[in-house]
Chains A and B, each alone.
Chain A
Amino acid sequence: MIIKGRKISRGIAEGKVLLSKDPISFLGNVDPESGKIIDPNHMLYGKSISGKVLVFPYGKGSTVGSYVIYQLSKNKVAPAAMINLDSEPIVAVGAIISEIPLVDRLEKNPYSLLKDEDIIKVNGNLGLIEIEDK
């Protein structure tokens, strides 16, 4: 099944879904060394975003968050791809400089469509996601 959205950052990647209903501030919420969520108040606290297709509504917090995404990618613990409800500049810029595919505004609500551990493909060149038909 193909779900169309909007392309923000190019590239194609596949991975297991990790859903967050909380927005993410990459500066402060995420440890750039391990790729784990380190904010006890975040719903993903203790979980690793490394290699995942990270689904979250949008980024928030300091613009330094863009560089933290870059650091995650240099440390090889970045998400494989990201899906937002609505991308904002911090995450958009972070994804582009780190070459992480990012799409937003899917035509179907990703939170009702996807669940944790689903394997999906994010195509940032065409701005869509591919879910294997069961």
Chain B
Amino acid sequence: MYLTTDEERILEGEEGETLRKAMEILVALGDIYGADCLIPIKSAQIAGVSYKTIGDAGLEWISDLKGHVKVPSVLNPAGMDMIRWNEMGISRDFAKKQKQIVEAYGRLGINTMCTCTPYYLKGFSVGYGDHLAWSESSAVSYANSVIGARTNREGGPSALSAALVGKTANYGYHLDEKRIPNIGIRVECNLKGADYGALGYVAGKISGNMVPIFSLTSNPTNDELKSLGAAMAASGAVALYHVENVTPEARKMKYDFPEEVVVIERADIEEVYATVGGSDGNSECDVAAAGCPHCSPKELESIAQMIKGKTVDKEFWVFTSREVATKYPDLVETIEKSGAKVLCDTCMIVSPAANNFHHMAVNSGKAYSYIPGMCRINSTLCDLEHCIKKVVSDDN
């Protein structure tokens, strides 16, 4: 890989040990993937935040680093709401370790907002063609597909290295030729809301790590595209997809529909709704959750409208970023009046809170896919209205 004189100097350790290692990581990954050079990035989003996933091993590494990020950088969700962790049934020990992790990242100049939807945050606006180093799989998919920016799915240490250096290696989805669709998915029914999560769950399994292009009969909103991409990155490893006449790159590049075409029908979508994820198919839902990925202001508004005046008698969690929750206190208040909780900085998958339950109803294909493995409980996918019905008492 070609390095500039400046990059060589960093690699030789002239700007300190942390930057030297960061550069060594970028160069090693670049060599492994055949990159020709490093390219500047606009922002970074760093995975490896939840104590549940990185443990003491990760905490030790992050705590030992010294330096300051060169581009706006933000964190992936943590294992708990950083303020209301106690209400989530999180242990004091877990909370202590989780705070140490987030503080260690903060010392490196990283915005300690923990979210899988950095594209809603101030200072993280992303445009068509921008190069990024993002980690969280749904954020990567949204940036690449819905916005038309360019990022690989970075691991925690590589995203952090890119943030510290301000560059990433030029390979994979940074290159034009890797963004051309190579599998066509034709959907022959109209879709709405959670249908897109179900579609993503099915399409992800078919696509693996390919680049699908969809032909749809309905016109999805950005929130619905978010749900589609998140599910495909969970059931498969899809980091970029296109939708004919909808997503910006498909509109601009007018890609040919690939020869390999898969057709998805209503029955495929219904099968996902009807299948309980996990081992105990007969158990009843005892908790419901929305906000995987973190709710947009519009999604918060829909939940508020639907739950207004109702009372929940089971746990109902709504996950969003702290910035969005702070910006819309009225919506949060309306939702919480029902007894539901609006939680920030975390989600049902990366926090250990779900361990205390048996069966979660979700409106997200991604959560549906991950919950049995990550939380060891059952999951059911249904639309938002039915999620709420499952936790609201019968008399209202």
A residues near B (Cβ < 8 Å) are 6, 8-10, 32, 63-64, 66-68, 70-71, 74, 87-90, 92-93, 96-97
Contacts and interface: CB of A to CB of B under 8 A. Distances in A.
A89 B29 contact: yes
B60 to A, nearest CB: 6
Contacts of A64: 48, 53-55, 57-58
Interface in B36-81: 47-48, 53-58, 60-61
Contact of B156 (A8, A32, A63, A74): A63
A63 B155 contact: yes
Interface stretch (B20-28, B91-99, B294-302, B320-328): B20-28
B158 interface: yes
Given A97-B21, A97-B61, A67 B54 contact: yes
A97 B55 CA distance: 16
A40 to B, nearest CB: 21
B193 interface: no
A75 to B, nearest CB: 10
Contact of B60 (A10, A63, A71, A92): A71
A90 B157 CA distance: 9
B272 to A, nearest CB: 26
Nearest to B53: A64
A18 B32 CA distance: 24
Contacts of B58: 64, 67
A134 B164 CA distance: 47
A67 B48 CA distance: 10
B31 interface: yes
Given A93-B158, A96-B25, A8 B31 contact: yes
B29 A92 contact: yes
12 contacts: A32-B57, A63-B156, A64-B53, A64-B57, A66-B155, A67-B57, A67-B60, A71-B57, A87-B28, A93-B155, A96-B28, A97-B21
Contacts of A74: 60
Given A71-B56, A97-B25, A6 B155 contact: no
Nearest to B23: A96
A32 B56 CA distance: 10
A87 B24 CA distance: 14
B32 A89 contact: yes
Contacts of A93: 25, 28-29, 155, 157-158
B295 to A, nearest CB: 27
A16 to B, nearest CB: 25
Contacts of B32: 8, 87-89, 92
Given A64-B55, A87-B32, A89-B158, A9 B61 contact: no
Contacts of B56: 71
A88 B33 CA distance: 9
A33 to B, nearest CB: 11
B369 to A, nearest CB: 17
Contact of A6 (B21, B31, B54, B157): B31
**Top 5 closest A-B pairs, CB basis?**
A67-B57, A71-B57, A67-B58, A63-B155, A93-B157
Contacts of B28: 8-9, 87, 92-93, 96
Contacts of A32: 57
A10 B24 CA distance: 8
Contacts of A10: 24
Given A8-B31, A92-B28, A93-B28, A68 B57 contact: yes
A25 to B, nearest CB: 14
Given A70-B57, A89-B29, A96-B25, 17 more contacts: A6-B31, A8-B28, A8-B32, A9-B28, A10-B24, A63-B155, A63-B156, A64-B53, A64-B58, A66-B157, A71-B56, A74-B60, A88-B32, A89-B32, A90-B155, A92-B29, A96-B21
